[in-house]
Amino acid sequence: MKLLIIYLGKKIRIMKDILRKKSNKSAIKMRDFWLKLMKLVKPSLRQIKYLVFIILVSELLQFVAPYILKKIIDLITNFHKEEINLLLVLLGSMLASNLIASFVDYLADRKIFSILAEVEFNLFVNAQKKIVDLSLAYHEKENTGNKIIKIQRGIDKVIELLGNVFWEVGPTIIQVIFTAIILFFVDWRFGLIFLIFVPIFIKMTADLNKQIHPYRKNRHDLQEEAAGRMAETIININTVKSFVQEEREINDHTKIRNLIKNNTLYEFFKMLNYNYGRSTVITLGRISILFYGAYLVWQGNITIGSLVFIITITEKALISLFRISRLYDRIMDSSEAVVRLSDLNQEESDIINPVNGLKPKSIIGKINFQNVSFSYHDSKIKALTKINLKINPGCITALVGPSGGGKTTVARMIYRHYDPSSGKILLDDKNLKDYDFYHFRKFIAIVPQEVEIFNNSVKKNIAYGKPEASQREIEAAARIANAEEFIAKLKYGYATKVGERGIKLSGGQRQRIGIARAVLANPRILIFDEATSNLDSYSERLIQQALEKICKGRTVIIIAHRLSTIKKADKIIVLENGMVAEEGSHYELSRTDDSLYYKLLKLQAMGDVE
């Protein structure tokens, strides 16, 4: 017996070494996968440990009834009348053990449902928090559809995976371990047969998943691409229809889905081929145990009850093992989605909020760029090169110049959506990086060229920056923004739903909602980024009137192509190729014949540029 155990130990170690050499890379990936999964479910780990204990008790109880059945069969094989009381006790014990096992299963199921609900809640909340916390740089490089499917599929797969582990995989692993121990206890040769076939089965399953892993990864890449393309098509549906490109979009999406289908079929057919081999291994194991058990009964070495007990527990263990091998295939399929969700969860923002950052109660609004250089991700061209500029508090400063000059980049850096690659930005003579950005951004508001409107009421959109605002404050802001006149004509007034991205509103109406939102936020620094560039003359005039009302007493930055809109600015800064070309008032710059500003004025007067 001792020699046998030593032999088995050596055999298992050799098998482990072979597997390690063959799939060391995969093993590392699997280890990383389980570690990432543990991090994702970390808030529920304590409950999971408690659940593992319940499952352990539940699986141990599953062996009690078959053992009592063994005793009953042995008893009735050579039954005597005086043993009737013992038979009744055994029958009662079997009933009691089944009832207790059912109750423990009930407790396990309750705990599983509780954990799954908690994990799903935490994952969605954390994913939303992560998405809104990440910098603009991340969102600009990642497709919207990709992000959504990464989160949705990742969370769905985590829940599916945990359900499989809790209900199937975990209990079966415990069952297989206890079955092997009991078989060795009953007769070491049963244990030997069991330990010969189980490792072979496990190795086949590991080999299968190693072979199809690249195809799974590729399928997930393609699924994210397909989701991204579909989201892109829906977002730009007006352009798709206007340029009659419906067929093209359908064909492009169909090509990607066809690649996904081919990948999926390859995976499934590969699994089917291996399933035949795995099924054969399980069948051989069952036949071997049955044959050897029958031989021992014939020799009188074990009782019929013992044989029934052995067959019962090995059948259950081997059949469960085959079932979880198929679940393991699904778990491995889930692993790619889980890893992607985990990677998103571990994604770090480029912009780090300082610990104990400055939280001023108010700001003056003085801004100073000192030798600031910056380039966007994956771009070799600098968006800003050693910029030096001052924006005075309480004044109107205009940023003008050709497209791509760096005007919008300057505005984004004032918000600290990006950090300079060199140089520094000062707000009220303090480095912008020293401020708590959740705090100082409350003193800034922006009206962009394309105002982002939520699929909500007019009221909720205006009050987005100040959710606690009263109806009177909202109406006052709308009045200042010259938005009240069109809001009054809407069917439900301020309660009117404006549709996704404000599709039910005109461009001018969206701009005025954006201005009302900025007014209501009552910022110290107000930025207008091409706020009138795409509007008709009437809408532009209304917005210009609104701007004049709200600019008083604030630091105002106007980014404009139309130079007619910034003549009243206190200072005009002309940007070209990411550098300050010149600065001064409209009067000063328009009197210098060789200035870029003068050239732009002449071109606009001639109608060559807007």
pLDDT the model gives residue 371? 92
pLDDT the model gives residue 368? 92
Closest CA to 448 of 361, 390, 518: 518
- Which residue(s) pair with 390 in the sheet? 368
Mean pLDDT of 277-290: 80
Mean pLDDT of 528-552: 68
The answer regarding whether domain 367-606 maps to CATH 3.40.50.1970 reads: no
Share of the chain above pLDDT 70, in %: 87
pLDDT in tens, 371-425: 999 888 777 788 888 899 998 888 888 888 887 788 888 888 888 888 888 999 9
pLDDT the model gives residue 532? 62
More confident residue, 422 or 602: 422
Domain parsing of the chain, residue ranges: 36-346, 367-606
Share of the chain above pLDDT 90, in %: 3
pLDDT the model gives residue 369? 92
Domains 36-346 and 367-606 share a fold: no
Phi/psi of residue 379, each to 5°?
-120, 130
DSSP-derived pairing of the beta strands 579-584 and 571-576: antiparallel
- CATH architecture of the domain with residue range 36-346: Up-down Bundle (1.20)
Top mean-pLDDT range of 53-62, 216-225, 276-285, 582-591: 53-62
Task: Please tell me the distance from the alpha carbon of residue 443 to that of residue 419, in angstroms, as a whole number.
Answer: 19
pLDDT the model gives residue 13? 47
pLDDT in tens, 541-560: 766 776 777 777 788 888 87
Given a contact cutoff of 8 angstroms between Cβ atoms, the answer to whether 313 and 293 are in contact is no
Task: Please tell me the distance from the alpha carbon of residue 531 to that of residue 519, in angstroms, as a whole number.
Answer: 14
pLDDT the model gives residue 581? 86
DSSP letters spanning 472-520: HHHHHHHHHTT-HHHHTTSTTGGG-B--GGGTTS-HHHHHHHHHHHHHH
More confident residue, 154 or 114: 114
User: Please, where are the H alpha helices in 187-303?
Assistant: 188-235, 237-242, 246-299
pLDDT the model gives residue 80? 73
pLDDT in tens, 456-509: 888 888 888 888 888 998 888 888 878 888 888 888 888 888 877 777 888 778
What pTM was computed for the model? 0.67
pLDDT the model gives residue 27? 41
Rounded CA Rg of the chain: 35
